[in-house]
Every structure is written in structure tokens, then in C-alpha cells.
Amino acid sequence: MRAMLARLQSWEGFLTCVVIFVILYNTALTPQFMTMGNQINLFQLSIEKVIVAVAMTFVIVNAEIDLSVGSMMGLAACAFGWLVQQGVPAGAAIPLVLLIGAAGGAFNAYFITRVGLPSLVVTLATLIGFRGLARVLVEDRGITDFPDWFDRLGQQGLIGPFPLSLIVFALLIVAGHVLLAHTGFGRRTYVIGTNREVAEYAGIDTARHKQILFVASGTIAALAGLLYAARVGAVRGDVAFGFELDIITIVLLGGVSIFGGVGTMIGTALSILLVLNLRNGMALMNITGHIQTGVIGVLLIASVIVPRLSLRRRRQEAAP
Amino acid sequence: MSAPVLSLRSVTKRFGATLALDAMSLDLFPGEVHAIVGENGAGKSTMIKTMTGIHRPTSGMVEIDGDPVTLTGPHDARDLGVTAMYQEPMVFPDLDVAENIFISKTDEGLLQRPADLRRRAADLTARIGMRLDLDRLASQLTLAEQQAVEIARALSQDVRVLIMDEPTAALSAHEAEQLRAVAVRLARQGVAVVYISHRLEEIFEIADRVTVIRDGQHISTRPIADVTSETMIAEMVGREVDHFFEHVPSKARAETVLEVRGLAREGVFEDISFDLHAGEILCMAGLIGARRTDVALALFGIAPATSGSIRYKGSPFSPPSPRAAIAAGIAYVSEDRRKLGLAMPMSIRANITLAKLSDVLSPSGFLRRRREIEIARAFRERLNIRAADVETAVENLSGGNQQKVMLAKWLTVKPDLLIFDEPTRGIDVGAKAEVHQLIRDFVADGGAALVISSDLPEVMAMGDRIAVMREGRLMDILDNAEATQERVIALATGQAPMQEAS
């Protein structure tokens, strides 16, 4: 009983309650809410963001940040469009674009781990740089002439009603959870995020670890950019503009500490469920996007305050 | 005797199920240095925190000048003249001494007259009897000088009770002496000085009265003349403890683990040469700033040497990273638990297995929790780490237990060479003896230990040989039999000449 109460007091417990409440409320209000179609649809509308949120969870637990993911999504989509326009077969363009993502991540990692600059600054610079590249590639045009199979992959169910992007997301978040919670790699992610010097003194190659995370973040952002291109069927220079903030919001709302070392993939998953259902529910109730954003903002502030309150209480009890 | 300035009247403090203070009563008189001793976890910190308003008593009360007061926080306590200072001085590194002293003076408006400020700062530093250049930035001061700044700041706020919590733990012998002089001087000026220290010899030097506490209870308060270190320790631990600091020689073996020749790092240390054998403890003594830690960091691959040579287990060795050093069987237990040693919010379990995570991973990289818990429990048992279970966050442990967790972490790598930097700083007498025994056990099993310590009795007790460093140079290496505290201090302070390597 005590254990159950303790769990309820945790941020994850709180999120679970809110998610259940929101879903029940939405279902009561709009009967079509809980249909498979609507649920898939609400995921589909933000699927690229939630895919990147999985990688972002690792980055933030590691006490870093990657602001360049939105721009990388845009760059990947635009690079894909450009390559296809130049006559490169789409099947060959896909791995090339993923390589661009990895290279972009490696570029970030170089300046963060070798030059020693803060990731906030480095990825702010590449947020601008990657976006600039994307705009150079497609200029003011929109590119829409993708092969049919590519568009179908983005828009239709691959297995039953589930589109490819949703399957990719499901696989990524499960793999991400296992990696973070049950492997040595995950443990190192937490330790480095808690105290990098302690990790370094314990013989952990913290630079290499961060390099892996940033390369993965860039690659996954590029993959998300490709999925975006396939879903929308068109790319422009402003694809995924500003997405990084939504992604970071989801991760922080899931209880991941911006200071690193704290948070779980389950928290991120709950936060994804909450944000998507809340926005969808409010949209079904004809509440405008601005108010939706305001509600998410209030929740974000709560996500910072509530765990602190319970932490302080626990600290005091354990203090002698 | 005059009336007490601050009194605790039967103060009890509970944290959930734990009883941290049990009907504690105490009187502090103006003009006395009142030492408070007790093992870690005895309730000293909680007691200070009730005096400074950080904790509120569950029952009982705090009285100032005989009137019951309810302290709502450190600020409130300061207004009533009660201030505490800790090991780590609170100074603003980019402000100068005078600005630091008056940092919290806000009652004279926005416009402070610098000349006036400086004159008053000079008065205050004169009062504590330390010469401080008021224009120096705090970042350029030694630790002791920074503490002096903090005391001057307390004086500027008309302090009546100054609580000094382990003020000398991180200081060199000379600096500690300066600080003790300041404490005595303040008491002579009518301040009630509460002095908390694990260094009993300090207490005999400056205290007027000593209070022993144990398990949250008041055990005794006596004039210093009525106690001996034996009775004090016995009261602290609740049993007779003898021969803490007697040297027990280790059995050095023929095999040389480490041969250091002419090791130097540009501008940091130079010409360091020594041998370390299996089964032997070599203590490195010296003042703060003697660069002993830098030598250790070169051996551990954090900041490699720029010239000279190291032979480790018979072959040339120059670790480029801690990883390489650990792989070769070298462990370095840092002096700074908080910054470099332990992931404080994480569990005992996660900290212990950190240095050799591969031991608890399956071939495909998955954590084997059960194995991890077994290893952590085994070490908790073996090192007598006092905690409810291995899932407890390390930050909730006492200093001594944290030290043991750190040692456990390094024992998991089964090192051949253990470098232990300030193994017992700020931990209590009982835990100290346990840590000493663990180091002796380690060398008895054939390990080699390099122990860096600023605690002279510890150096004399632990070192089979004692290497004394001063300002980046190795002054001499003494055999335990020929070493005396006086000799070590003379070498460390430059009063005795450096021995030419023969």
C-alpha cells in the first residue's frame, strides 16, 4: 500500500492518472475519440516529433541538449527532395540522407566533445546552419515529385491499419526503453548525466558516449525528416520548423530533468500519450491551438515543480 | 559565570521514524570555545541546523538570552547573531575581499562608499588577526583566507554565536593553525564559538569546554581540563577503543609494483622518484598545494606527466586515460567524494559497480540486476557500510559510509595499486579506524597502496615509508621508524632541507 502510494506520488504516477483522466474525458465527450482510426490519426499528426523524442530522452538524461533536430529533419527532407530531383533513385537517396543525419550529429559531437563547447551553443548554431542548408537546397520551391511507393509508405497502413512511421516509433521507443533501463549503455548514460567527472574517473569514455548519442540523434532526426516527406508528400524549406521545442517539451514533461541524470523512457512515453490525447481532445472540442499550447505550458511548469516538492519531502525525511 | 547566550532546552528532532536529536540540552556562554564531538551520524549537523533555524525542533525549544525563539531560517538566526560556517567557504570568487565581507549588507542603500567600506573591512580583518589584502579577488585566496573572509562577514553582522563545522578539515597544518587562532581570538572578544572537529588534538588546543554527543543524545559537557582523548573517544563510540594510531608495519615484498623516476609535469611538479613494493603502504605527506594529488593524477592517467618515466609491474607505463590505468590495475580513490568520487543521487549499488560495469553485464550488454545486487550486498557486508539497503542513495549516507562505498567501487576492479587521496578526511574516529584496517587488509593481500594524507597522526600510523612533498618537489622519503611528526612538518614547510637523491 505504501509502495503504491509512493508510486502515485512520482511524476510517472501522476502522468498516468492524468492520461487516463484525459482519455476517459475525451471518450465521454466525443464517442469517436477512442476509435482506432482517430487514435492512429492523432499519432500520425505528430509522429515525426515523437520519434525524435526517443533520442532526445537519451541526450537530455546525459545532461546535454540537441536543438538542431528540427532543422536536421528539415535538412533531411529537403536533401531527399533535391536528390530525387537530381535523378537519384529514391531507394538510394534514403541511405544517403541517413548518412547526412549521422554526419550532422558527428559535427555537433565534434564541437561538444573535442572542442569542449556547450551543446546548447553548438546545436543552436547548427539549428541555424542545417536550416540554412535546407533552404539553399530547395530554394523557394516545393518538391512533390516523389515515387508513388514512397508516398504510399508514408500515408497508408503497412501492417493492417498501422503505417510505417507508427511501427518505427513503436520499435524505437521499446528498444529505447530497454537500452536506457536495462543495459550498461543506459547505466552509463545516467552516470554521465549525473556527474560527468565521476564517470570519467571511473574509466568511462564519456566523450565517445556523447558522440554516439549525438550521431544517433542526428540519424533519427534525419529518419523522421524522411518519414515527414513521405507522409506529406511534399517538402519545402520550412519543413519541421520549430519542432525542436515541441520535442524537448515532450521529454521534459515526461519527467526527464534538464540537468541530466533523471528520467525514464516510460515517462517520455506517458508524456507523448498525454500531449497527443490532450491536443486531440481539445481540438475535438474546438479549443484553439494557442490555448492548447498554453495548457501544455502549464503542465510543463508542473512537471518541474511537483517532483521537486516530493523530493524535498523525501530528502527531509532522510536527512539526519 | 555570565548568562548563556544560546541554549537548547530538551530539543528533540524527528525525521519520519528516525530520532535525530533526543531531548538535547546545551548552554553556550559568551567568550567560550565550545567543542562538540561525536561520530558521524551522532546528530551534530542536525543540532547545528536547529540552532541556525534550518530545522525546527519537533519538541523542546531554542532560547537566546533566556527567551524562547522560533527560528524560521538561517536569515532569521543571523539577525539574532547566530551564524554557521562550513568546510567550503561561501565566497564570491569574482569579488574582492572587502566586497565579499559586506556582500549581505543591504541596509545602507544602493550607494556604498568604497573608501568607507574598505576602512571597515580593515577593522574587521584586524579584529580576527589575519592580514588580508582587501583588493585581492576571493578566487586568489587560500581556503583558510576564504574562511577568514567568511568570519569577517559574520562579524560585520554582529555575530554572537559562531558555529564552525569542521573548519579545518580541508586545510593544511599551517592554515588550520591560523584558523584556530582566529577562533580563540573571537572567543576572547566575547563571541560564543561552537567548534566541531574530528581532529581531537585541535580540540585540546583551543576548546574551553567539550560536549560529547552520541545517537542524538547529550552524553557529557566538561571543562577541557577534565577530559582526555581516551575518555572522549570512549564516550563518542560508547566503548573503549585503543591504539588507533599505533603503527602496524606491513610486510613489504620484494616485488616492485611501481618505479617512478624523475617524473615531472611542466609547471606543476618535478623530479619525483620513488619505488613502491607489493604489500607496502607509502604515505605522501605535505601541505595543501604540495602537488601530491597531481602526482597521483599523472599515475592514474587524468593529467599525464610531461617527462620522466614510470615502470609499473616491470614494464614502462604511461597511461593516457583513467581507462588505461584501471585496465592495468590501478585505482584512484579521489579526495573529493562529491565532485569526483561518487554519483551522489544514485544508489549504493550503482556506485559500487560503476568502475567495473562489465562484471554485471551479460555478453550482449544487458544489466544483470541480481548479480549487481549480490556484489553490492557482499561489499556492504565486507566493508560494514551502514545503510538500510543497497538501494539507498549515496547522498543520504554519512561521510564515513560514503568513503567506504567509494573504496568498494575501487576494490571491484581488483587493483594491484591503490592510490588513496585523503582517505579519512571529515569522517569520524570509528569509520577512520575501519578505513585504515581496510587499507591494511588490502596490502596484506599483496596490494600496494599509495596514501596521500594531510592528517599527520594518520601518516605516522599508516605509512611504512613516508614521502614528504613540498611545492611540487619530493623533499625526502622517511622510514616509519626514523620519522617523527616534527621531522615531517619541518620537511613539508621547508624548515628542513631537501635530501639529495642518493
The pLDDT of residue A140 is 82
Beta strand segments in A133-222, E: 157-159, 162-163
Q: Do A203 and B334 touch (CB under 8 A)?
A: no
Helix pair B173-188, B485-493: axis angle to 10 deg: 100
Taking a C-beta distance cutoff of 8 angstroms, is the pair B430, B241 a contact? yes
Q: Cα–chain-centroid distance for residue B177?
A: 16
- Predicted confidence band at B146 (pLDDT cuts at 50, 70, 90)? confident
Question: Which residues, 6 or more positions from B90, have their beta carbon under 8 angstroms from its beta carbon?
Answer: B150
Return the DSSP state at A115.
S
Q: Quote the ipTM score.
A: 0.86
**Residues on chain A touching B15 (C-beta within 8 angstroms):** 316-320
- Tell me, what DSSP letter sits at residue B498? P
User: Which tens digits make up the pLDDT trace of A243-302?
Assistant: 999 999 999 999 999 999 999 999 999 999 999 988 888 887 888 888 888 888 888 888
Looking at residue A319, what is its pLDDT?
A: 33
C-alpha cell at B31: 567568550
- The predicted model gives B239-264 an average pLDDT of 77
Q: Are B439 and B449 in contact (CB under 8 A)?
A: yes
Give the pairing type, strands B82-85 and B161-165: parallel
- How many angstroms away from the CA of A257 is the closest CA of chain B? 13
Q: How far is the C-alpha of A115 from the C-alpha of A127, rounded, in Å?
A: 18
> In angstroms, rounded to a whole number, what is the distance separating the alpha carbons of residues B433 and B243?
10
Grid coordinates belonging to B424: 579519512
Q: Give the pLDDT of residue A308.
A: 66
Give the pLDDT score at B86.
75
Provide, rounded to the nearest whole percent, the portion of chain A with pLDDT above 70.
93
CB contact under 8 A, A203 and B358: no
A269 min Cα distance to partner chain B (Å): 22
Cell of B21: 536529536
Contact flag B18-A201 (C-beta cutoff 8 Å): no
**Which among B20, B342, B366 has CB closest to A198?**
B342
Q: What phi, psi does B127 have (nearest 5°)?
A: -60, -35
Asked if residues B390 and B350 have their Cβ atoms less than 8 Å apart, the reply is no
Mark yes or no for CB contact B346/A205 under 8 Å. Answer: no
- Between the ranges A219-223, B247-251, B472-476, where is the mean pLDDT highest? A219-223
Nearest residue to B279 via CA among B256, B245, B261: B256
Residue-averaged pLDDT of chain A? 89
On chain A, the residues whose CB falls within 8 A of the CB of B365 are: 183-185
Instruction: Decide if B9 contacts B28 (C-beta within 8 A).
Output: no
Q: Is the pLDDT of residue B39 over 80?
A: no
Residues in A closer than 8 angstroms to B16, CB to CB, are 317-318
Instruction: Output the CA–CA distances (angstroms, integers) from residue A183 to A53, A187, A188, A217, B374, in the order listed.
Output: 20, 6, 9, 19, 17
Looking at residue B431, its pLDDT comes to 82
CB proximity list for B332: less than 8 A, separation 6 or greater = A201, B296, B297, B299, B300, B302, B322, B325, B410, B419, B421
User: What is residue B475's predicted lDDT score, i.e. its pLDDT?
Assistant: 92
A227, HSE (Cβ side, Cα atoms, 13 Å) = 23
Q: Do B332 and A184 touch (CB under 8 A)?
A: no
Residues B132-160 have a mean pLDDT of: 84
Element (H, E) at A58: helix A36-61
The minimum CA-CA distance between A210 and chain B, rounded to whole Å, is: 16
For residues A236 and A142, the answer to whether their CB atoms sit within 8 Å is: yes
Q: Is the pLDDT of residue B73 over 70?
A: yes
Q: Average of pLDDT values for B452-478?
A: 90
Residues 6+ apart with CB under 8 A from A199: A188, A191, A192, A206, B343, B354
Whether the pLDDT of residue B455 is over 50: the answer is yes
Question: Quick check: B365 and A188 CB within 8 A?
Answer: no
Identify which of B22, B94, B90 has the alpha carbon closest to the alpha carbon of residue B60.
B22
For residue A304, the distance in angstroms to the closest alpha carbon of chain B comes to 17
What's chain B's length in residues? 502
Q: What is the reported pLDDT for A142? A: 87
Residues 166-225 of A with CB under 8 A from B: 182-188, 190-191, 194-195, 197-205
Please give the Cα distance from B234 to B400 (Å, whole number): 18
Residues B186-212, mean pLDDT to the nearest whole number: 89
Domains and CATH numbers, chain B: 6-91+149-237 (3.40.50.300), 252-329+415-502 (3.40.50.300), 339-413 (no CATH)
pLDDT bin (cut points 50, 70, 90) of residue B106 is low
- For B348, the 3-state DSSP assignment is helix
pLDDT tens digits, residue range B274-320?
999 999 999 999 877 788 999 999 999 999 999 999 999 999 999 99
Is the CB of residue A227 less than 8 Å from the CB of residue A165?
yes
B333 Cβ contact partners less than 8 Å away, ≥ 6 residues apart: B341, B406, B407, B410, B418, B419, B420, B421, B423
CB within 8 Å: A191 and B354: yes
d(CA B459, CA B467): 10
Q: Which of B334, B343, B396 is opposite residue A191, by nearest beta carbon?
A: B343
Task: Tell me the nearest-neighbour CA distance from B51 into chain A, angstroms.
Answer: 15
- Percent over 90 (pLDDT), chain B: 47
